Amino acid sequence: MRRLNAETLQWIGLMAAPLAWTVQLVAGFGVTLAACEGSRDLSLVAWETGLTVIAAAVAIAGQVAAVAAWRATRRAEAPPAGRIHFFADAALLSNTLFIVMTAQPMRPSTYTRSRRGTRSRRTGSSAAHTP
């Protein structure tokens, strides 16, 4: 097995997290539509969790590739190594943002599950309580 060069690692690091997030977003939308139709017995939380774990793993792998490219070119100034280092810097920043964005779909479903029915227990009805 041959070792990946810094330029290949740079491109993997730059593109893995945004592509993983995009696939997660589009697939999650499709799963949500299928679950809302009710024609299929889907566990939305299970699908959402699976998509999030896979997307996060790909995004973290992209971050690892960006770190490897950054470390391989950290003393470089002249092209092409200087360019690779610049793109690795950009990948380190953007991957951090995409990893956070990848984890966001889990927060609303967890919050909704824990809050579901709370109002009806407090007020005795499903209507919203107005002070």
Per-residue pLDDT tens over the stretch 53-73 = 999 999 999 999 999 999 999
Q: Mapped to the 3 state alphabet, what secondary structure does 2-38 carry?
A: CCCCHHHHHHHHHHHHHHHHHHHHHHHHHHHHHHHHC
Q: What three-state secondary structure class fits 64?
A: helix
Average pLDDT for the chain? 82
pLDDT of 90 over the 50 cut: yes
- Separation between Cα atoms, residue 83 and residue 92, nearest integer Å: 14
Q: What pLDDT score does 23 carry?
A: 96
Phi and psi at residue 8, to the nearest 5°: -65, -45
Question: Domain limits of the chain?
Answer: 13-110
Q: What pLDDT score does 122 carry?
A: 44
- Separation between Cα atoms, residue 92 and residue 124, nearest integer Å: 50
Find the mean pLDDT for residues 62-89.
91
pLDDT of 96 over the 80 cut: yes
**DSSP code for 125:** S
pLDDT of 1 over the 70 cut: no
Q: Which residue has the higher pLDDT, 108 or 30?
A: 30
CB 6 within 8 A of CB 86: no
**Tens digits of residue pLDDT in 99-118:** 999 988 766 555 555 444 44
Query: Which tokens sit at 40?
Result: 């299929």
Q: What pLDDT score does 36 carry?
A: 83
Q: What pLDDT score does 78 carry?
A: 81
